[in-house]
A and B are shown apart, each in its own frame.
Chain A
């Protein structure tokens, strides 16, 4: 599986002369043309039925309370897809949804869902492009309808009510997560068995990887970014497991998983990226500054979503990774929150130190003053604690918890 996949991926960027050093390549990039164009319409009864169901689901997603209201970030994400495709993409509709899980999903009508948990973790525009390109691959290669037909033939007696809704391809997940999150939103379907039947096959995942990385190379994005996404995720999951005194286990490594084993996937993408870089004269970029500017207004919310999941190993990994560019008030505050929520021996002191450090930065969030104040009160430093809580109320006069903070100050 592994070697054949590598051959397949290497083929994705190859030319006849370049391929001489390789054994058989199963799929060449020329074998992956889009099967769907910009004004594609469903061609038969199967597809028309799916599209009708999906329209209802999309309406629900549009009105969902979990939808992130961030027009600029939405527009920015759309512009990356257009950069990848080299054209305007009215056929792909992206929805940014508030879910702290790392995932993105593609549905057969061109609806794409990108979770805030993914936005929290990517480090540059090229990494986001890697995910979006992979998802676009599922759509333009018509994986959902292909999978639907394949499964229908195998399970003729299956009840199809609601099953169409499960055609989303949640592909950039690691561990137990899947596209099913948004199916719950759409229809409240709660049958994981059905869900699992409608995930993409491994071959389709591999093809989408190949499709995405060739789009990246063509658009001038650093193809290496695709494997970096996986590297970060594996490191994060290892940090999470270590925190719980567990060993990291790749849940995609199971024979029944539709996703290729994560480590293999990372290595294959890295090999392909190296190959593409060797065969290309054109420069590439990760457009990191553009990403940082786009995500900056949302960083506090994205970190809050992650930290409150209370997965301290993963959260500390994320914060420390972001702090490689330098600590700031927001990161120190969130570091304190991780320790406070973890609540193990010595964590109160660690949290207190982090909050104190946060208040020394000019970008300190008001909430850091509140946390600092309560930490000082716990340490019996009453005057300093009261000063910090007053500072919180000064900086955040409309604080939702102003009532209880004032009550604390009045004691």
Chain B
């Protein structure tokens, strides 16, 4: 049985049917839908979409998602969540509401980690930040996932026309996060909405 599965997987791989990473060029590009546009300074690798992934987010990496990742949220509508609520789950996934203030948005972001079993999550700073032509939020945080390797993260977010737009960078605390931070800042500065 195992052999059959292995053969089937090999056949699919050879045929190119398994989801694959896609190269993102260092030029202006639409991300996570049709509205959010950014201009990366480097080539990135777009992660294949997972079946549970929402239609409003997209993730890129430079060195592999366990080391660094940039994620985009391209207009999450009111009443929707980036996480899937499974029927059996005890925990309620956080849902975005258009009337959320900065306090609520930070809590929603934190909850998206906590409900996935990450207990150690610390907000480092929350400040106003320019994003998409207006004032949004810039949140720096640290967390320890269950692999025991600390990660740093930064997220810039803003609600525009009742939809949530965000870009976040996460990376292993030693080296990878700091190395990708200038590129992240450039992408945030370049971000615009294609109306």
Contacts and interface: CB of A to CB of B under 8 A. Distances in A.
A188 B146 CA distance: 8
Interface in A388-411: 400-401, 403-404, 407-408
B120 A308 contact: no
Interface residues of B, number: 36
Contact of B124 (A60, A374, A378, A400): A400
B115 interface: yes
Contacts of A341: 92, 94, 107, 111
B119 A310 contact: no
Which DSSP category, helix, strand, loop or mixed, fits chain A's interface?
A: helix
B107 A340 contact: yes
B148 interface: yes
A400 B144 contact: no
B119 A100 contact: yes
Contacts of B93: 310
B120 A98 contact: yes
Interface stretch (B9-17, B18-26, B51-59, B96-104): B96-104
Contact of A184 (B104, B125, B137, B146): B146
A274 interface: no
B150 interface: yes
A12 to B, nearest CB: 33
Interface string A362-391: 000000001100100110000000000000
A342 interface: yes
A99 B106 contact: no
Contact of A371 (B102, B103, B120): B103
B95 interface: yes
B126 interface: yes
A269 interface: no
Nearest to B101: A374
A119 to B, nearest CB: 12
Interface in B133-182: 135, 137, 144, 146-150
10 cross-chain pairs, A with B, having the tightest CB-CB distances, nearest first: A403-B127, A401-B126, A65-B144, A308-B114, A184-B146, A407-B128, A185-B148, A404-B126, A374-B103, A311-B90
A66 interface: yes
B65 to A, nearest CB: 14
A47 interface: no
A64 interface: yes
B104 A60 contact: no
B81 to A, nearest CB: 11
Given A310-B94, A343-B97, 10 more contacts: A66-B120, A66-B148, A98-B119, A116-B119, A186-B148, A309-B115, A340-B107, A370-B103, A400-B124, A407-B128
Contacts of B148: 60, 64-66, 184-186, 188
Interface size for chain A: under 10, 10 to 19, 20 to 34, or 35 or more residues? 35 or more
A403 B115 contact: no
Contacts of B95: 343
B92 A312 contact: yes
A185 B119 contact: no
Contact of B146 (A181, A314, A370, A408): A181
A401 B125 contact: yes
A316 B128 CA distance: 33
B127 A311 contact: no
Interface of B: 90-95, 97, 99, 101-104, 106-107, 110-111, 114-115, 117, 119-121, 123-128, 135, 137, 144, 146-150
A181 B149 CA distance: 14
Contacts of A271: none
A69 B108 CA distance: 27
B91 A310 contact: yes
A181 B116 CA distance: 12
A358 to B, nearest CB: 15
A65 B174 CA distance: 13
A214 B104 CA distance: 49
A305 interface: yes
A310 B104 CA distance: 14
Q: Which of B104, B125, B128, B148 has the largest count of A CB atoms less than 10 A from its CB?
A: B148
B120 A407 contact: no
Interface string A58-101: 00100011100000000000000000000000000000001111
Nearest to B100: A343
B51 to A, nearest CB: 18
A64 B120 CA distance: 11
A116 B127 CA distance: 31
